[in-house]
């Protein structure tokens, strides 16, 4: 322990007499137990009040840790060391009068010790008993027997005071040792009390409610909120419910990017975690069954130091979940399979969802942009579709952040890209490509099965696009044959056809 640790311990012990009465009036069995463990230690408190100064330095080697009047011998050595200033002032004044050198002064440094300094011009006025100690560019430094003797005495007193202070500091540990068991019990009780106080203050200030823990399996949350996001938002946080039960163990979550899927998943995991550590939760009501562990596969990050790609990290975490999750585990899976090709990712996501629902039967929140996965709701028992809603208006998107039953209709990826500031020409090209791909998907769906088998396994996303009608019209024009009026009329015509 360092000197300031003793100072903090003393401050805590000084407050204990005020703490116990506050706890006993609350009529709580738990707080009564904590109050019994927070009994004052007047002897130890008195020892620290006498031994340690109010604001000690960080290290004992700096000195000035032990308070005055704690040890008479230490006080004597300190008085001798601190009295040097008065003596040196008297000596300087006396030597000025004796030598007649007005610029004479007494100084000290760690190299030369104490010395008498005069200017070079006054060197002929120096008395014979002055012994030259150091010559500088413009000054001369001398020592006299009286000053040398005092230097030895003062420096010796400082070192002796510091040595004695270190000895007394070490003895303080021995005097504190008998209270070690009581201090450990006190520390644990105060830590628990600090935690409970924090829980109570946050619950009161942030409108948290008491969760209900039940032996029945499942999770039911009414109007749940994210405890962090709601504090950093300037707008009101939109609360959402959650219902998981043996008949509804997996929720397939779809919706637009930025729609709030990840926030919704994380807020429910945090509510469960907060409830199981004894805290009130950010929800109007929470009824929680047994939850042994919380597993998450959320976000995207690589591990360059270990040579693992983003997809490898994703699969490693997924493997851990599939090997260790149980029917009483809460599992969060966010966009599994997005780090590889479309068909590979969709196949892996489908198989993981089936395994979690059929084999492990874990309580799972499964967010995805693969709309094909929503078909699992009609094939697997205990799986339901939900989505976070968004509204599109005049090529703009408004996120509602509300959880609703059923699958989302689209991902709104192009609209989100437009919000992010992607150049308009890129957005237009993406819309053309999207329409082409959707048309190819419809044609492929209507094609005979024999024709399907001849297609490549991986969809060719970037085939040559059909020429735009406006581009064809412009290619046939001869600008030199148009008048100004004709060119302006043509421009209006082309704009109207967009």
The string of pLDDT tens digits covering residues 363-373 is 999 999 888 99
Averaged pLDDT, 412-417: 80
Does 397 fall in a domain?
A: yes
Cβ contacts of 314 within 8 Å, gap of 6 or more: 297, 300, 336, 339
CATH number of the domain at 228, please: 3.40.50.300
Residue 305's pLDDT band (cuts 50, 70, 90): low
Domain end position, chosen among 422, 452, 480: 422
- Chain mean pLDDT for the chain: 87
Residue written as token pair 């599109």: 392
Does 120 fall in a domain?
A: yes
Does 275 fall in a domain?
A: yes
Q: Phi, psi at residue 303, to the nearest 5°?
A: -135, 80
Domain identity same for 353 and 286: yes
pLDDT of residue 447: 57
> Residue 458 above 60 pLDDT?
no
Greater pLDDT, 244 or 395: 244
Domain identity same for 277 and 361: yes
Residue 434, CB-side half-sphere exposure with 13 Å CA sphere: 12
Residue 416's pLDDT band (cuts 50, 70, 90): confident
Q: Which pTM value belongs to this model?
A: 0.70
Q: How are strands ordered across the β-sheet holding 285-288?
A: 212-213, 285-288, 219-224, 240-244
Total domain count, the chain: 3
Does 455 fall in a domain?
A: no
Query: What does the block give as tokens for 358?
Result: 């059929």
CA distance 221 to 217: 13
> Residue 396 above 60 pLDDT?
yes
Domain identity same for 335 and 411: yes
Domain identity same for 314 and 386: yes
Question: Per residue in 56-76, pLDDT tens?
Answer: 999 998 888 999 999 988 887
Per the structure, the complete domain to which residue 25 belongs is given by: 3-69+174-203
Does 490 fall in a domain?
A: no
Domain identity same for 230 and 339: yes
């Amino acid at each position: 322990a360092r000197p300031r640790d003793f100072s903090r311990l003393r401050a805590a012990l000084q407050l204990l007499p005020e703490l116990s009465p506050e706890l006993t009036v609350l009529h709580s069995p738990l707080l009564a137990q904590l109050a019994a463990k927070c009994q004052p230690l007047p002897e130890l408190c008195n020892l620290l009040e006498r031994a340690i100064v109010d604001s000690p330095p960080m290290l004992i080697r700096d000195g000035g840790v032990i308070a005055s009047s704690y040890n008479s011998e230490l006080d004597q050595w300190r008085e001798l060391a601190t009295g040097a200033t008065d003596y040196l002032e008297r000596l300087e004044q006396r030597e000025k009068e004796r030598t007649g050198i007005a610029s004479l002064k007494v100084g000290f440094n760690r190299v030369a010790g104490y010395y008498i300094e005069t200017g070079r011009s006054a060197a002929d006025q120096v008395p014979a008993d002055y012994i030259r100690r150091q010559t500088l560019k413009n000054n001369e430094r001398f020592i006299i027997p009286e000053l040398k003797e005092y230097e030895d005495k003062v420096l010796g007193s400082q070192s002796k005071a510091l040595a004695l202070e270190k000895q007394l500091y070490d003895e303080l540990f021995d005097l504190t040792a008998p209270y070690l068991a009581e201090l450990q019990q006190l520390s644990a009780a105060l830590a628990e009390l600090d935690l409970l106080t924090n829980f109570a203050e946050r619950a009161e200030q942030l409108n948290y409610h008491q969760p209900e823990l039940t032996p029945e399996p499942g999770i039911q949350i009414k109007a749940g909120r994210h405890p962090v996001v709601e504090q950093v938002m300037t707008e009101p946080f939109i609360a959402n419910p959650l219902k998981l039960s043996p008949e509804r163990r997996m929720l397939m979550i779809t919706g637009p990017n930025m729609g709030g899927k990840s926030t919704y998943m994380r807020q429910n995991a945090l509510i469960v975690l907060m409830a199981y550590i004894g805290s009130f939760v950010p929800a109007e009501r929470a009824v929680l069954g047994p939850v042994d562990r919380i597993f998450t596969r959320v976000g995207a990050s690589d591990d360059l130091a270990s040579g693992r790609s983003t997809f490898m990290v994703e699969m490693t975490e997924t493997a851990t979940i599939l090997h260790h999750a149980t029917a009483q585990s809460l599992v969060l899976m966010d966009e599994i399979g997005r780090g590889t090709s479309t068909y590979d990712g969709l196949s892996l996501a489908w198989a993981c969802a089936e395994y979690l629902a059929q084999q492990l039967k874990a309580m799972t929140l499964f967010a995805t942009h693969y709309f094909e996965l929503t078909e699992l709701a009609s094939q697997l028992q205990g799986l339901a579709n939900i989505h976070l809603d968004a509204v599109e208006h005049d090529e703009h998107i408004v996120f509602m952040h509300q959880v609703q039953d059923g699958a989302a209709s689209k991902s709104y990826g192009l609209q989100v890209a437009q919000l992010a500031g992607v150049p308009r020409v890129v957005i237009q090209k993406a819309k053309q490509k999207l329409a082409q791909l959707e048309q190819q998907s419809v044609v492929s769906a209507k094609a005979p099965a024999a024709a399907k088998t001849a297609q490549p396994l991986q969809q060719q996303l970037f085939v040559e696009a059909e020429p735009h009608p406006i581009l064809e019209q412009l290619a046939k024009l001869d600008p030199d044959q148009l008048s100004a009026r004709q060119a302006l009329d043509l421009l209006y015509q082309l704009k109207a056809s967009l």
